[in-house]
Structure 1
Amino acid sequence: MAEQRPRLTSSSLSTAASTLAEMRRRDEGRDDGVRLKKKVGLVSGVALIVGTMIGSGIFVSPTDVAVGGGSVGFTLILWIICGVISMCGAMAYAELGTMINKSGAEYSYLLEAFGPLHSTVGSIPAFLMVWTNTMLLKPASVAIIMLTFAKYAMEPFYDQCSASDGAQKCLAALGIIILTMVNCLSVRLATGLQNVLTGAKLIAVVIIVIACFVKLGQGSTAYLSSGFSGTNANIGQIAIGLYKGMWAYDGWNNLNYVTEELSNPYVNLPRALMIGIPVVTLCYLLINISYFTVMSVTELVHSPAVAVTWSNRALGVVSWIIPLSIVCSTFGAANGTLFSTGRLSYVAGREGHMIELLSMIHVRKFTPMPSLILTALLSLLYVIPGDISSLINFFSFAVWFFYGGTMAALLVLRYTQPDLTRPFKVPVVIPIIVLVIAVFLVIVPIATGPSLGYLFAFLFIISGFIFYIPFVHFEKYPAFMRE
């Protein structure tokens, strides 16, 4: 006998509308006291996603993705797969973000799912996540992005040689300081800057795409016509290619870090994700096709700077536009990363997993100033050595470790709290697929190419226990670390 579905009546629709209205009043109407304000709209949300995702990755990762792919056809498929994975992960995050209307992304979701097991066991996954991201991954990411920014910003001023490492580090540090000041002064100023830089980089992307179609129209299809010739069959190298591709896509979850500042999050969070990520995926695919109109896979793999090589061959006298676009992309990506990371340590401080100072926000600016300053200081520290790319190579290992944990948290919440209001709900198969992919991306590179770097990343995550036990579990810390 066919299952009868409940009918949608005017009464049930009215009840659902009332529930959503009450949720909005609860989350948006409580402006008493000092709290983060809802100043991030749909446009700013899309700009934050696109601006953070399109950073240095698309100008650095194509080489490694091509190594993993081995052929033009499979390389392009890897870029599409990375986009699909990001979209699936983002949709799962949209359910979590509309169900748990707190900033902090993975941290808040892990805490909600496993925290009820109580302080010693339940909150450990959330603490290890915030420890790793706050102290290492996000600040190091900002440092790498700003070093890339400095390299390309100074390149036009040096004809026969490159700028010294010291000069590049100083410019990178200056950029971090400027971005920190902007984010501390005003949410509106920070999101406005993000909107402008996103617009600038998209104009550059449009130029690259137009040049792609021009080249195709001129018959520059020799390299593209090679298709799947030379496709790589090594699972380990394919996994590394996916790693590098996912690094270029990293940032798809950044809007979840600022959920509390997103206006009407129950509508704008899923909508911004469904707009932003497909835009980035299409841009990446067309940019790589554009690369292959003037370069073979071998040439792309051995190019020291893929985007510069492409611009010299495709744009001629206006090739300077590529360094300019990279400057805009990296500056915007660093701004978006700093904006979201500051909210992560703010939420962790509010929950007692970081020092209480980090839970403070400016009484007039309504910005999490202490947490922003901490992120900036750590980023400046990672700029000093100047070469932490080997550490960033294992960025995806740690990131996907926690992405997998977050998918597990969603599945746990489906089982333990089925009655929670879910304004946006994805089929359960989506988080399961992303969880399987996360396990693959964590295990396969270790199994096929063991490295001390993976061990270092794992040990850094586990080292969080050293701080968790005395500071969080036993709450033993010096008086100056208190509020």
Structure 2
Amino acid sequence: METTTGELHLKREVGLISAICLIVGTMIGSGIFMSPEWVLRYIGSPGASLLIWTASGLVCTIAAFAYVELGTIIRESGGEYIYILRNFGRAPAFLFSWTSVFIARPAGIAAMSLSLAQYVAAPFYEDCPPPSAVVKCTAIASILIIGIINGLNVKLATCIQNIFTFAKLLSLLIIVTGGIVLIFKGYTHSFQNAFQGTIGEIGPVGMAFQQGMWSYDGWNNLNYVTEEIRRPEVNLPRALLISIPLVTLLYVMVNVSYLAAMSPNEMMKSGAVAVTWGNKVLGSWAWIIPLSVILSTFGSVNGSFFTGGRSCYVAAREGSLPDILSMAHVHRLTPLPALAFIAFIAVIMVIPGDFASIVNYFSFIAWIFYSLTFAALLKLKIKKPHLHRSFKVPMLVQVFLLIISVSLVLTPVIGNPRIEYLFIFLFMLSGLLIYLPLIHFKLWTISMDRVTVFLQLLLDIAPAQANLD
């Protein structure tokens, strides 16, 4: 952030390279090291699993086109929140911020932190799985460390993101190279009758897509920091259109490498497919893989913190959350209260949570609001076709995205109905009970004034304004 005429603004410090690293670094996390066995388990065959990975990347690439158009029309930070607010009003936007801040964003951070902690603790417990308490304490420590990094300085957070992104790209290239060598040596048994055993039922296909989409999650994160991107009308589309196809190619090739080294049964029985691959292919150098997972996941959590704090900050700035969360530290110029709040909720979710459940709930919630965001772009195209657009997506593509996103919400519920989905939906609707008295009738402002002033003095923070230059 920067100070101009006595006001605090988000500072434009994210260039093209940092923008690419933010997307790639957030997308490549624990998913590609943990989800492949689950995709294969749900879909039943190697050929179909590769199609799922390719299709997931294609959907995210097309979805990014829509977000580019939205980001160049509405040049504000906040991602889905700001797009829903500007098109459907305060109540739907509040429901998004309510669900995102209290469930979706902390759930993603908690899931990745648990994965990170599992790999950090594993070397100390070679003969048995790490105790749950150790894993959760390590996950909480990682959340606090990354939260502090993001609270200290924007450049520090983006610098760490860039370094870890290059490290994780190198680790994936090692796996890809190893797979190419194996294929040239004739390790192609997994690709013979590649589609035999494919499960085509709607439920398993939907769950396979959920796992695949989890691994690609982060494709939309740049839209959360639009106000901090230099020349967003140029760098936003460039960064998205470079990053997502790159990650898609890497993910498909990594899965090919896994299948070259392991049979489908071995892959499905592996508790950590990347580690199994490393033991089979790298021998005494197998330690590189657990280290790569740690670096990859740490970078992904850092990226989620960076963008998640901005989402919370923008929602508060627009009146959907307490004013204190829209303030910035007057010296460090970071959205410190929003970052601290996200960290607090993520820590709470780590305590009772487990990786698999959190992934399923996160994906279900995320695609509900992606659907609403695609509907927002359709509305803009129909009602405000005169708005200047430096990047345009055909109407047919928007309809396709809306159908796909709604399908990704409904297929897991139809194919594998669970009471937890009902609880999440009820939690979302319960936000209306908060919205009406505290936001619509502004009772929140009255009740929080003294607390806000106290926290301003304690934390040395002040209100920040939007930077739309």
**Deviation (angstroms), 1:88:** 0.8
**Deviation (angstroms), 1:269:** 0.4
**How far apart, in 2, do the equivalents of 1:457 and 1:308 lie?**
34
**Deviation (angstroms), 1:112:** 0.8
1:255 lines up with 2:229 in the alignment: no
Q: 3-state DSSP class of the match of 1:419?
A: coil
- Give the alignment of 1:125-144 within 5 angstroms: 125-144=92-111
Who is 1:459 aligned against? 426
Who is 1:348 aligned against? 315
- Give the alignment of 1:166-315 within 5 angstroms: 166-315=133-282
From 437, 443, 448, the counterpart of 2:404: 437
Identify which range, 471-480 or 285-294, moves more after superposition: 471-480
8 Å CA contact 2:114, 2:355 repeated in 1: no
- Give the alignment of 1:369-380 within 5 angstroms: 369-380=336-347
Deviation string 1:57-90 (CA, Å, 9 cap, x unpaired) is 1112112211232211111011000000000111
Who is 2:10 aligned against? 36
**How far apart, in 1, do the equivalents of 2:316 and 2:93 lie?**
12
Identify which range, 192-201 or 408-417, moves more after superposition: 408-417
**How far apart, in 1, do the equivalents of 2:131 and 2:42 lie?**
32
Q: 3-state DSSP class of the match of 1:34?
A: strand
**How far apart, in 2, do the equivalents of 1:374 and 1:406 lie?**
25
8 Å CA contact 2:111, 2:358 repeated in 1: no
After TM superposition, the score normalised by the length of structure 2 is 0.93
Cα gap change, 1:193 to 1:31, in 2 (>3 Å)? farther
**How far apart, in 1, do the equivalents of 2:378 and 2:241 lie?**
22
**How far apart, in 2, do the equivalents of 1:113 and 1:257 lie?**
17
8 Å CA contact 2:72, 2:390 repeated in 1: yes
Matched AA of 2:324: L
**Deviation (angstroms), 1:482:** 4.7
**How far apart, in 1, do the equivalents of 2:324 and 2:374 lie?**
30
8 Å CA contact 1:173, 1:383 repeated in 2: yes
Matched AA of 1:286: M
Cα gap change, 1:394 to 1:222, in 2 (>3 Å)? same
Cα gap change, 1:430 to 1:31, in 2 (>3 Å)? farther
**Deviation (angstroms), 1:226:** 2.6
Matched AA of 2:380: L
8 Å CA contact 1:356, 1:481 repeated in 2: no
8 Å CA contact 1:165, 1:386 repeated in 2: no
**How far apart, in 2, do the equivalents of 1:140 and 1:446 lie?**
19
Cα gap change, 1:32 to 1:271, in 2 (>3 Å)? farther
Matched AA of 1:42: L
Who is 2:61 aligned against? 87
Give unmatched runs, 5+ long, in structure 1. Answer: 1-27, 116-122
- Give the alignment of 1:17-32 within 5 angstroms: none
**How far apart, in 2, do the equivalents of 1:234 and 1:249 lie?**
23
Q: 3-state DSSP class of the match of 1:367?
A: coil
Query: 4+ residue runs of structure 1 moved beyond 4 angstroms?
Result: 28-32
**Deviation (angstroms), 1:141:** 1.3
Deviation string 1:110-140 (CA, Å, 9 cap, x unpaired) is 111112xxxxxxx221111111111111112
**How far apart, in 1, do the equivalents of 2:406 and 2:108 lie?**
23
1:148 lines up with 2:115 in the alignment: yes
Measured on the aligned residues, the alpha-carbon RMSD in Å equals 1.7
Who is 2:466 aligned against? none
8 Å CA contact 1:36, 1:361 repeated in 2: no
Who is 1:15 aligned against? none
After TM superposition, the score normalised by the length of structure 1 is 0.90
Give unmatched runs, 5+ long, in structure 2. Answer: 454-469
Identical-residue share of aligned pairs (%): 47
8 Å CA contact 2:233, 2:390 repeated in 1: yes
